[in-house]
Amino acid sequence: MVTMPNPESLASLAVHAGREDLADLGVHTMPIDLSTTNPLPTIEAGRDAYDNFAAGHPRTDGMTSVYRRAWNPTVARFEEALAALETFQPERPPVHAEAVAFASGMAAITAVILSRVAAGRPHVVAVRPLYGGTDALLASGLLGSEVSFVEPHAVADAITDRTGLIVLETPSNPTLELRDIADIVRQAGDVPVMVDNTFATPVLQRPLLLGAGFVVHSATKYIGGHGDAMGGVVVTSPEHATELRPIRTVTGGVLDPWSAYLLHRGLATLPLRVHAQQATASQLAAWLREQPAVERVFYPGLPGSDPEGLLGRQMAGPGAMVGFELAGGFGSAERVCGALRLITHAVSLGGVESLIEHPAALTHRVVAEEAQPGAGVLRVSVGLESVDDLITDLGKALAHA
């Protein structure tokens, strides 16, 4: 594909990235290629393509496609776009990274762990809190990995000669702690750091530019933004991407072209959505802090919530996820969720509709007891509704707490 000259703003890049070949094709929007197989000009051409994919390389110009599980053009355009966004830095030399897309965020995280196990470095050092699925996958050892859960300042001490990966989220799910990526990269030395960037998105934070080895996303969330497409993606060095692609091909966790199209389309409005949702979340978090039924609010933008001064330095803004703890515990949380009318009581996040959920009972139910969020904690994904309507809805529901 043709490479677009680096534009000045992420907003322009989000609209145009991964679309460079469309004009030559004579189309305005991304074609959805649904072929599961491809006609082969010769046996030899097919064999060469097989060898290329088995070695983990992307398809190059002039090479035939073979089978959707190995390569698909609609997926490849989305990958190109996300890699461009995660490496965007105006007026700086381009950072070379490649994206590898998967069927879900968990498929993406699974492939990264498997790649490190396959490299003979199965030990993972992980900083909690993490999304419940990630935490449980690491704790289970299902993929042949071993895990040490540590505090952020203790990463260096936990590394052994078997350590192949450091895992963290910032902001973390569900209590929105910020972690200093550059500091953890420093502690990690030559061990690659995997940052789950689902909550921040490349609009607010680009961990590869701070030295992270892998950025992962549940693209199901902000990237798609409309709650109608599931996907995951890893953005990493070309060398690591070469290790991930054969894992994706043999394990089969591929992104389908319909979802790739929707996720790619979602990128065009990602900066706009994230900034609007963040503005509403900031107001909602400040309002929540004043409510008598609310004991504590988790939001990086509130005074005292960013002791290391990472906002502005590492992350351009506090994001659009807000957590809060009800003084009345689980019973209060149950009553509040039941009384909401505008905000939907549902798991997942990052879409245009506001959602609320109880992490300890749902998304983090699978996490070991000592790492469980409190029974009174609720997590809100702030959507695009007006802040006044959200406050009215939450205000009425909190009266039942």
Ligand X SMILES: Cc1ncc(COP(=O)(O)O)c(C=O)c1O
Taking CB under 6 A as the criterion, the residue among 196, 256, 306, 357 binding ligand X is 196
Compare residues 19 and 248 and give the one whose CB is closer to ligand X. 248
The answer to the question of residue 105 lying near ligand X (CB under 6 A) is yes
Compare residues 108 and 398 and give the one whose CB is closer to ligand X. 108
The nearest distance, CB 231 to ligand X, in angstroms, is: 7
Choose one: 62-70, 128-136, 260-268, 329-337; the region binding ligand X (CB under 6 A): 128-136
The answer to the question of residue 110 lying near ligand X (CB under 6 A) is no
Pairing of strands 377-381, 355-357: antiparallel
The nearest distance, CB 105 to ligand X, in angstroms, is: 2
Tell the residue number behind the tokens 């300042």, with chain if given.
153
Choose one: 100-108, 145-153, 249-257, 374-382; the region binding ligand X (CB under 6 A): 100-108
Compare residues 109 and 285 and give the one whose CB is closer to ligand X. 109
Compare residues 200 and 398 and give the one whose CB is closer to ligand X. 200
The nearest distance, CB 179 to ligand X, in angstroms, is: 13
The answer to the question of residue 133 lying near ligand X (CB under 6 A) is yes
Q: Is 196 a catalytic residue?
A: yes
Q: Is 69 a catalytic residue?
A: yes
Q: Is 221 a catalytic residue?
A: yes
Compare residues 66 and 126 and give the one whose CB is closer to ligand X. 126
Compare residues 106 and 336 and give the one whose CB is closer to ligand X. 106
Neighbours of 113 (CB within 10 A): 24
Q: Counting beta carbons within 10 angstroms of the beta carbon of residue 150, is it exposed (0 to 12), middle (13 to 18) or buried (19 or more)? A: middle
- Options 59, 69, 265, 296, the catalytic residue: 69
Subset of residues 136 to 175 that bind ligand X, contact rule: CB under 6 A = 169, 173
Q: Which residues pair with 195 in a beta bridge?
A: 168, 215
The nearest distance, CB 107 to ligand X, in angstroms, is: 7
- Options 135, 196, 306, 393, the catalytic residue: 196
- Options 19, 77, 121, 131, the catalytic residue: 131
Residue nearest to ligand X (CB): 105
- Options 77, 121, 206, 221, the catalytic residue: 221
Q: How far apart are CA 120 and CA 123, in angstroms?
A: 9
Compare residues 52 and 220 and give the one whose CB is closer to ligand X. 220
Binding mask 334-373 for ligand X (x = CB under 6 A): -----------------------------x----------
The nearest distance, CB 22 to ligand X, in angstroms, is: 27
Subset of residues 220 to 259 that bind ligand X, contact rule: CB under 6 A = 220, 230, 232
End-to-end CA distance of the chain: 55
Q: Counting beta carbons within 10 angstroms of the beta carbon of residue 162, is it exposed (0 to 12), middle (13 to 18) or buried (19 or more)? A: exposed
Binding mask 197-226 for ligand X (x = CB under 6 A): -x-------------------x-x------
Contacts to ligand X by CB under 6 A: 104-106, 131, 133-134, 169, 173, 196, 198, 218, 220, 230, 232, 363
Active-site residue numbers? 69, 131, 196, 221
